[in-house]
Homo-oligomer: A and B are copies of this chain.
């Protein structure tokens, strides 16, 4: 049809015909069928974003970055939530291949690379977000987990802490492993040994944070500081500390990877590392669309964005030790805390 030319502004067309077509379109309320267009052009102008936990504001912020950027460049986005399950992830990937999305932005559920391989076999470009994978030839965008963790832990060591526990997600998830690596480097640089380490692997959620903290409080030597590698873990830890009757930072310092969006906390008091989540989403979408446009180099690109440490009131020198470099003497084995089952909601008022 000539209509096609009018809609796409392609080829020559007489002003008169064009006008008449436009009138007809308006009258009929005609809208072109994107499906047919996509079938013909073999491009859907659609991206997919697969995340592991849409409840996490970190990922919703990434999603906004992706969507805003994609939309501005004429792409739609399909969001998929895997609940951290590789099975769900693979299922989604199959659907997305069948639906012929142009590319997939993926936060991989675990160390698995099956999804990525399947996508690549079918010629779909992939950008991996937040976590990294051992696959060559795939673009990646994330922030520096190792460095962020290192600066948080160094900060706590600088305050005089020696027994610092880290509560983290699954060992197979790269962010979890990297944050533990940063923790270990900080300890090592301070002359501490693996005997001083307290690493708890769990899940990236509140329940796991709670449970790991309960275990931690029964471990000797009792830690004086906690490094939670994600928000939800920190929330669970704080709940456990409160129930145990411990105060922050007097009895226990705590620092967390991931800051909450501004205006989310009633009282921002957690020392944290803030990741540029919106920027991660934006850069990932740009990388993808650039590649789809053929403007990208053949080799894979990796963008590692810096994260920023924000010192607040949840970290302070430990009670028994002055805020100075500690001496490497025999550790005074502190008594493990007794868990008193104190009801939640009995603390002083935050406002």
Cα–Cα distance between A39 and B67 once the two chains are bound (Å): 26
Task: Please tell me if A33 contacts chain B, counting CB pairs below 8 Å.
Answer: yes
Contact A98 B33 (CB under 8 A): yes
Q: Mark A36-52, 1 if CB is under 8 A from B, else 0.
A: 10110000100000000
Contact B262 A206 (CB under 8 A): yes
Q: Which residues of B contact A39 (CB under 8 A)?
A: 33, 35-36, 39
Contact B38 A35 (CB under 8 A): yes
Task: Identify 5 new A-B residue pairs, CB closer than 8 A, beyond the known A34-B100, A60-B60, A248-B351.
Answer: A29-B121, A57-B57, A235-B265, A250-B349, A267-B344
Contact B312 A263 (CB under 8 A): no
Task: Please tell me if A78 contacts chain B, counting CB pairs below 8 Å.
Answer: yes
* Band of interface residues on A: 35 or more
Q: Which residues of B contact A81 (CB under 8 A)?
A: 64, 67
Contact B78 A267 (CB under 8 A): no
Chain B residue at minimal CB-CB distance from A49: B79
Task: Please tell me if A61 contacts chain B, counting CB pairs below 8 Å.
Answer: yes
A206: which of B247, B263, B314 is its contact (CB, 8 Å)? B263
- Give the 8 A-B CB pairs with smallest separation, nearest first: A206-B263, A248-B351, A34-B98, A34-B99, A79-B79, A35-B39, A350-B350, A31-B98
Query: In chain A, residues 297-351, which have Cβ atoms closer than 8 Å to a Cβ of chain B?
Result: 312-314, 344-345, 347-351
Contact B248 A235 (CB under 8 A): no
Given A54-B60, A78-B78, A349-B269, are A31 and B94 neighbors across the interface (CB < 8 Å)?
yes
